[in-house]
Amino acid sequence: MNLLDTMVEERPVQAGTDVDWWRGAVIYQIYPRSFQDSNGDGVGDLAGIIHRLPHVASLGVDAIWISPFFRSPMLDFGYDVSDYRDVDPMFGTLGDFDALVNRAHELGLKVLIDLVLSHTSHQHPWFLESRAGRDNAKADWYVWADAKPDGTPPNNWLSIFGGSAWEWDGERMQYYLHNFLSEQPDLNLHNTDVQDALLDVVRYWLERGVDGFRLDTINFYFHDPKLRANPALLPEDRNDDIAPSVNPYNWQDHKFDKNQPENIAFLKRFREVLDEFPGSTAVGEVGDAQYGAEIQAAYTAGDDKVHMCYDFSFLSGSKPNGDWVAKIIRKFEATIGDGWACWAFSNHDVVRHPSRWNLGEEAKRLYAAMLMSLRGSVCLYQGEELGLTEAYVAFEELQDPYGIRFWPKFKGRDGCRTPIPWVSDNQNGGFSDGKPWLPMAMEHLHRSVMQQERDEDSTLAFYKALIAFRKAHPALIKGALEVHEAREDHLSLIRSHEGTRIFCAFNLSNTAQPVTLPEGDWREDKGAPFAPITTDRGITLPPYHAYFGVEESQ
């Protein structure tokens, strides 16, 4: 056992701790491989994150979410875990992680880590024991099934990464389930011993000082024990929000390989562990195109499951116009009840949204303001505050197995994972002294942190001002939401909280538009990071501009 394991104490709860801090929080996602390399091997690490935490804190965000850093063969870059309780040497040590948590807390940042509970690496000791025979202690820890009489897989379930979700294993002479890579076998959470082992992992990291978790693929934890085949979807009902259109995964209604009702009971067990550590929280990733809002509501309702979830509503390729955003919001408001959402435009799995939606500089800022005005918490992906676009990565430099398989129609996820440019005056952007694991995008160098910190009108300065503006208004953080007006090129919302209303209007077009104010005594909030636009003749929004008005009850 590492000496540090004996030194970890359960953190005390300080007087005045805001256990509700997560509600409306802004969370900054760090993809460790591409954030900062401290030792010249070309891969970002925990020490590098520590070095750059002051930048994150300067944004005014509430928390960081760190993508997986656990021991792993890295076939899916850490989402294939081989040891849940240790740091992979490429990222550092447990001591580095403890130092990171301490430094983050000193800077006022909460720390969320990425937990992958639905599957492990095929090199995890649990799987090695499970595949060794059908009668050992862990024989039922993964999802095993016999072949059909003709040798084909048990049913028609498909992998998100392409092909059948079943892989033949000659050791056990059975198929095992994998919703992702064949090297990522799915755990069998119908087995309570598996649940107990995973909850022990949760408690281990909470005792180590983390403030919560991002739960990878939260709706994949359980499968239909009868292994019933998924029904087909009609072509007009297919959606490419979860998998690219070249992948036939989209041709099924995934009724039986995920989204199972047994998950609710497990999430309640999970929440019981979190509640042992007041102030801890969890945000779940809902990977579903058909039932996302309903799953969010079911998983976050009440105070006995996860605190918040996000789906792929705004992570898709469709540019969100006013009508579409209003439709999503209204469905969410009608469904969520007392649950809570976490909204995001970009992350490590999708094309960066400025490229996905073809946004110019003004539009980038406007859409950021719209994101910060929705009811829920917010996730920002590293580099979003710099206005980074999707990087081009040549085929011979690709690392992502997903992109390699479906190239060239789908180029994978490497373009959003290239290193962060910290400075403009060297070819690696200050990320590493060695050759980066993915190339530094040359077009990103002029958007470096160093260069933007010198410009008071930079995208970075805008994000800092926008986050500060949100923090200054409890109505934007925790208030109710009403859609005031929506059309293709315009969206306006009303947020309200404890006697204060905020009117948020967004011109989503490249032409000026008049704005219709709701009834009330409104004044323009001059603290918003947009130029004042009120005139004697009413309000006219310039292209890609926002207006924020405030009304306070007497």
In the annotation, is 216 catalytic?
yes
Which residue reads 């009850």 in tokens?
553
Separation CA 282–CA 308 (nearest Å): 7
Residue 352 makes CB contacts below 8 A (sequence gap 6+) with: 346, 381, 383, 384, 388, 389, 390, 415, 416
Separation CA 521–CA 178 (nearest Å): 58
Separation CA 238–CA 236 (nearest Å): 6
N-term to C-term CA, the chain:
62
Sheet-wide strand order for 174-177:
144-145, 174-177, 166-169
In the annotation, is 333 catalytic?
no
Separation CA 254–CA 232 (nearest Å): 9
8 A C-beta contact, residue 345 and residue 315:
yes
8 A C-beta contact, residue 425 and residue 375:
no
Catalytic residue among 45, 167, 169, 216, which? Answer: 216
Q: Residue 535: which H helix or E strand, with range?
A: strand 534-535
| Inter-axis angle of helices 46-58 and 94-106, nearest 10 | 10
8 A C-beta contact, residue 209 and residue 163:
no
Separation CA 262–CA 222 (nearest Å): 7
Q: What is the CA radius of gyration of the chain?
A: 24
8 A C-beta contact, residue 506 and residue 491:
yes
**Ramachandran region of residue 498, left (φ > 0), alpha (ψ -120 to 50) or beta?**
left
Catalytic residue among 20, 196, 200, 276, which? Answer: 276
| Inter-axis angle of helices 459-471 and 361-371, nearest 10 | 20
Separation CA 311–CA 120 (nearest Å): 22
Supply the DSSP symbol for 232: B
Catalytic site positions: 216, 276
